[in-house]
Amino acid sequence: MNDAIALLAISQLVCLGAIFYLYTQLQLLKARPRARRATISARAHPMSAPVDVSSRQAARAAMAAYAPAKGPVSTVAARGEAASLAARLAEMGVDVPSLARRMQKSEEEVRLLMRRQGAIRG
């Protein structure tokens, strides 16, 4: 019985020590000034300097590439684009799982689209 009481006392001391340690760490965290969050995503890289484009045609093409979408894309048009992409990639010999990841669809949906376009059989 004395051994059980001794083990209980030791475990209580260990728990109190752990609570004291966590309390001191919490006080250290509170004492530090808050770090500001970065406003720029880690994936986004700011441009170093603006670049002058010599031709107007190249400038228009660049502006059109980064212009926001002009309206909502209809689901019919999106399905048609996905199906044509599936057909073109099937001709190049791309496997279905990687194609599904690129199109953000399930493999079964990609296979169905490819079957509808006649790209694969079965």
**Tell me: the pLDDT tens digits for 29-76?**
888 877 766 566 666 666 666 666 677 777 777 777 777 666 555 566
State the pLDDT confidence band at 119, using cuts at 50, 70 and 90.
low
Question: What does the block give as tokens for 27?
Answer: 């006080």
pLDDT of residue 37: 65
70: left (phi over 0), alpha (psi -120 to 50) or beta: alpha
Top mean-pLDDT range of 10-19, 43-52, 67-76, 97-106: 10-19
From the number of C-beta atoms within 10 Å of its C-beta (0-12, 13-18, 19+), residue 13 rates as exposed
State the pLDDT confidence band at 122, using cuts at 50, 70 and 90.
very low
Per-position DSSP letters for the chain, written without gaps between them? -HHHHHHHHHHHHHHHHHHHHHHHHHHHHHHSPPPPPPSS-TT----SS----S-HHHHHHHHHHTSPPSSPPPHHHHHHHHHHHHHHHHHHT--HHHHHHHHTS-HHHHHHHHHHHTSS--
